[in-house]
Amino acid sequence: MIKVAPSILAADPINLERDVRRAVESGCDWLHVDVMDAHFVPNLAYTPDVVRRLKESFSVPLDVHLMMDEPETLLEAFLKAGADVLTIHAEIGEKAAGLLEIIRESGALAGIALRPGTPLEAIDGLKEKADLVLTMTVEPGFGGQKMDERVLDKIRALRDSGYGGYIEADGGIREDNLQRLIDSGLTAAVMGTALFRIADMRAAVERIHQMKRTKNEE
């Protein structure tokens, strides 16, 4: 069953607890928390304190995505705050390998992310240290963008490589394009506006949980 991870970036910031509770009560598997430093991506969002309060208030695992040039500066803070999955970007270079090891040693799942234009080869030597590979399906920074379908090839190639961890995608994912992602090998879907702006989120999550790979997407 595919993991459904609503992105709280798409929630109403004035009513964040209300919207997160709605997602949890709708049966989501993880809560996706984007952390942006206004350098790696042109936006700014969430702090360790937000993760800590989410951890105190909800039992759903927290899937924390560090879109940062220097994630090492806050890695320990997010782990202590309660991140269950902590993802860094391959684009930060050689330090990524050591940070993945630190995350795993903490007991959290370690994730490595790729921007749409970054080739899969960038995680050679890293995916073995990662429990999750996050393929960005839009340029990160803002919600509500259209999914770049070229990333389907990247997901398929990762699946065909024999990678055994979670394959996650984030950006422009909706129910009407999710089946192609699943057929390509996706096992975890980050969904923002497509979930938070729907009237019956519970029904949507139930439909997504029922989706299975129907063919090998070629």
User: First CA to last CA across the chain, in angstroms?
Assistant: 22
Question: Which DSSP symbol is given to 34?
Answer: E
The pLDDT-based confidence of 146 (bands split at 50, 70, 90) is confident
Alpha carbons within 13 angstroms on the beta-carbon side of residue 60 total 23
Is pLDDT above 60 for 130? yes
Active-site residue set? 34, 170
Q: What percent of the chain has pLDDT above 70?
A: 96
Domains in the chain, CATH or no CATH each: 3-209 (3.20.20.70)
Dihedral angle of Cα 145, 16, 60, 114, to the nearest 10 degrees = 30
Q: In sequence order, what are the beta bridge partners of 132?
A: 111, 166
Interval 33-84: pLDDT, tens: 999 999 998 889 999 999 999 999 999 999 999 999 999 999 999 999 999 9
Predicted model pTM: 0.95
What's at 66, amino acid-wise? L
The predicted pLDDT at position 216 comes to 58
Phi, psi of 125 (to 5 degrees): 85, -10
User: Cα separations (Å) of 85 from 38, 60, 180, 210?
Assistant: 22, 11, 25, 24
What's at 80, amino acid-wise? K
Is pLDDT above 90 for 208? yes
The SS3 of residue 190 is: strand
Cα-trace Rg, the chain: 16
- The sign one gets for the Cα dihedral 11, 23, 134, 37 is positive
